């Protein structure tokens, strides 16, 4: 009898504690949503996506979303709607072409200079049709939590558009995707639901807040495409799940902090698109991991690099690459680049191994005279921690084709 009473008392105590904890968590969640000012480090503990989704039933307003199409210089040539049946024809995209879809992050849109510059790189090095999913007023909402509440609706809109394009001749097996932050989450989940299989998708520091803590969230994104490459640059705005893709690049200091961010805490997250764009012409080479905790370190060949330009898709696991404070942010590894071997050999400090290009000399690899005419010059203050858009403008001189683009600093 005493044992029965003891079990009953313990059961009631456990129920009471659990109920109080659940109520407390619910209260914290409400505060996080209504006030929208939870400290970033606490978002993972207080934000409950499931409750929000149940609280708000949303219908898709396709008129608020657009698809932008770019020319060879990254300029927008056509703006179509989600349900536009003739968009690809009007944008001069033809069946059988390679196809690339870009998805921007929170507070961005498809006519931001960083998106146009990325589109230009894809047009040059991949070719075909390059388009961008613009989710308009949803993305510009200053309340990030409210944007997360629209996730399922935006994801389904993107799925619908990609399936419409497929009916117009788009071949998924020749298609590639790219997404940043919240947009990375959108494209990953959308590609899991389209009527086909994408060739590849590159993911730039996918958002963590509002997603990492979801009970049903799985840390596995490899079903989104035949190859899923993820790049990680932060752990406050970016995800803390760094093993869910085929290649998992942890940049800078273990994928947590970037020297180029300086003292601005959120800037490490915003550096990811700049690293990715720079990597088209300035490689970020994989290096051995010496200091970062890791569970699935990849074996990689010499000269293996982050970004679209790497064509070897057989590598699996966590990869590491140095980043630097100044543009173009890459660091040439202190190892001999020998493609015929997979064994790393340290380079003596006084040896000259590389025949440097003028670009590499200009960026401080050697102390030779600077030649700015051949450089690709990124604005180091491209992203600021201010709420207002900066009016700082700098020319980007492309090293392959002299094209000047005005870069306007933008806040994330």
**What residue has token string 């403008």?**
393
Query: What distance in Å separates the CA atoms of residue 34 and residue 337, rounded to the nearest whole number?
Result: 53
Average pLDDT, the chain: 74
- If asked whether residues 178 and 29 sit together in one domain, one would say no
Asked whether the predicted pLDDT for residue 92 surpasses 60, the reply is yes
In which band, very low, low, confident or very high, does the pLDDT at 53 lie, cut at 50, 70 and 90?
Answer: very low
Higher pLDDT, 303 or 20: 303
More confident residue, 392 or 314: 314
Residue 392 lies in a domain: no
Given a contact cutoff of 8 angstroms between Cβ atoms, the answer to whether 103 and 133 are in contact is yes
Burial of 358 (0-12, 13-18, 19+ CB in 10 A): middle
First to last CA, the chain: 63
**What is the CATH number for 240?**
3.40.50.1820
Confidence of residue 395 (pLDDT cuts 50, 70, 90): very low
Does residue 124 share a domain with residue 20? Answer: no
**What are phi and psi for residue 345, nearest 5 degrees?**
-125, 120
The reply to whether 43 falls in a domain is no
**Residue 59 in this model has a pLDDT that exceeds 90:** no
Answer yes or no: are the C-beta atoms of 162 and 187 closer than 8 Å.
no
Q: pLDDT higher for 48 or 104?
A: 104
Higher pLDDT, 205 or 94: 205
Ranges 15-19, 100-104, 145-149: which has the least confidence: 15-19
216 and 125 inside one domain: yes
Do 208 and 332 sit in the same domain of this protein? yes
pLDDT beyond 70 at 391 = no
**Which residue from 134, 267, 217 is spatially nearest to 256, judged by alpha carbons?**
267
Alpha carbon distances (Å) from 336 to 77, 332, 348, 361: 44, 10, 10, 18
* Measured distance CA(115)–CA(107) in Å, rounded: 13
| CB-based contact 153:65 (threshold 8 Å) | no
Residue 410 belongs to a domain:
no
pLDDT tier at 5 (50, 70, 90 boundaries)? Answer: low
> Can you tell me the mean pLDDT for 227-235?
97
pLDDT for residue 22 is more than 50:
no
Alpha-carbon span 134 to 245, nearest angstrom? 25
Is 135 found in the same domain as 276? yes
Number of domains in the chain: 2
Residues 183 and 248 in one domain: yes
Query: Is there a single domain that holds both residue 1 and residue 66?
Result: no
380 inside domain: no
Pairing of strands 66-70, 76-81: antiparallel
Q: CA 58 → CA 49, 138, 151, 153, 215, distances in Å?
A: 14, 12, 10, 7, 22
The CA distances from residue 227 to 248, 294, 296, in Å, are 11, 21, 17
Pick from 171-180, 201-210, 397-406: least confident? 397-406
Any domain includes 69: yes
What pLDDT, on a 0 to 100 scale, did the predictor assign at position 338? Answer: 40
Same-domain status, 158 and 245:
yes
Of residues 335 and 320, more confidently modeled:
320
Q: Is residue 141 part of a domain?
A: yes
- Cβ atoms < 10 Å from Cβ of 180: 30
- CA-CA distance, 267 to 282, in Å (whole number)? 21
Same domain, 117 and 27: no
The residue whose two tokens read 């932060």 is 234
Segment 207-223 shows an average pLDDT of 84
Residues 7 and 54 in one domain: no
Residues 289 and 266 in one domain: yes
Q: Are residues 143 and 2 in the same domain?
A: no
Across 167-171, 282-286, 330-334, 386-390, the highest mean pLDDT is recorded for 282-286
- CA distances in angstroms from 268 to 231, 255, 323, 324, 405, listed in the order given: 12, 9, 11, 12, 24
The pTM score is 0.72
> What pLDDT score does 290 carry?
82
Tell me what pLDDT residue 4 has. 56
Give the pLDDT of residue 334. 56
Domain range spanning residue 140?
49-367
Residue 60: its pLDDT value, please? 63
For the chain, percent of residues with pLDDT exceeding 90: 54
Residue 259 domain-assigned? yes
**How far, in Å, CA of 23 to CA of 16, rounded?**
11
**Residues forming a β-bridge with 80:** 67
Q: What is the dihedral of CA 156, 248, 277, 111, to 10 degrees?
A: 20
Q: Which residue has the higher pLDDT, 379 or 121?
A: 121
**Is the residue at 124 inside a domain?**
yes
Q: Are 42 and 208 in contact (CB under 8 A)?
A: no
Which pLDDT belongs to residue 168? Answer: 86
**pLDDT at residue 95, as a whole number:** 86
């Amino acid at each position: 009898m005493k044992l029965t009473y003891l079990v009953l008392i313990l059961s009631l105590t456990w129920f009471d504690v659990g109920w109080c904890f659940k109520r407390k968590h619910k209260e914290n969640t409400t505060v996080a949503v209504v006030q929208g000012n939870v400290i970033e480090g606490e978002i993972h503990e207080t934000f409950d996506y499931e409750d929000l989704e149940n609280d708000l039933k949303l219908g898709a307003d396709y008129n608020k979303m657009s698809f932008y199409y770019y020319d060879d210089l990254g300029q927008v040539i056509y703006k179509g709607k989600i349900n536009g049946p003739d968009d690809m024809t009007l944008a001069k995209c033809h069946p059988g072409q390679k196809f690339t879809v870009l998805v921007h992050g929170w507070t961005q849109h498809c006519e931001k200079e960083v998106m146009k510059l990325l589109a230009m790189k894809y047009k040059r090095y991949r070719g075909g049709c390059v388009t961008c999913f613009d989710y308009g007023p949803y993305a510009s909402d200053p309340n990030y939590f409210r944007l997360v509440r629209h996730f399922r609706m935006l994801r389904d809109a993107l799925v619908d558009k990609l399936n419409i394009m497929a009916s117009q001749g788009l071949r998924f097996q020749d298609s590639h995707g790219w997404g940043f932050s919240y947009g990375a989450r959108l494209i990953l989940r959308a590609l899991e639901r389209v009527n086909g299989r994408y060739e590849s998708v590159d993911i730039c520091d996918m958002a963590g807040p509002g997603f990492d803590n979801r009970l049903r969230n799985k840390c596995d994104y490899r079903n989104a495409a035949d190859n899923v490459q993820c790049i990680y640059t932060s752990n406050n705005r970016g995800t803390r799940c760094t093993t869910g893709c085929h290649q998992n690049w942890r940049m800078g200091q273990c994928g947590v902090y970037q020297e180029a961010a300086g003292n601005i805490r959120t800037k490490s997250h915003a550096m990811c698109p700049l690293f990715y764009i720079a990597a088209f012409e300035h490689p970020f080479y994989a290096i051995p991991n010496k200091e970062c905790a890791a569970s699935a370190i990849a074996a990689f060949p010499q000269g293996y690099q982050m970004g679209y330009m790497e064509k070897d898709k057989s590598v699996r696991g966590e990869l590491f690459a140095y980043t630097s404070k100044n543009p173009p942010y890459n660091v040439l590894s202190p190892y001999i680049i020998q493609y015929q071997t997979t064994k790393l050999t340290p380079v003596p400090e006084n040896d000259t191994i590389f025949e440097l290009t003028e670009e590499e000399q200009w960026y401080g690899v050697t102390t030779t005279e600077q030649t700015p005419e051949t450089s690709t010059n990124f604005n180091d203050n491209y992203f600021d921690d201010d709420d207002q858009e900066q009016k700082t403008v700098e020319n980007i001189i492309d090293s392959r084709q002299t094209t000047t683009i005005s870069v306007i600093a933008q806040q994330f």
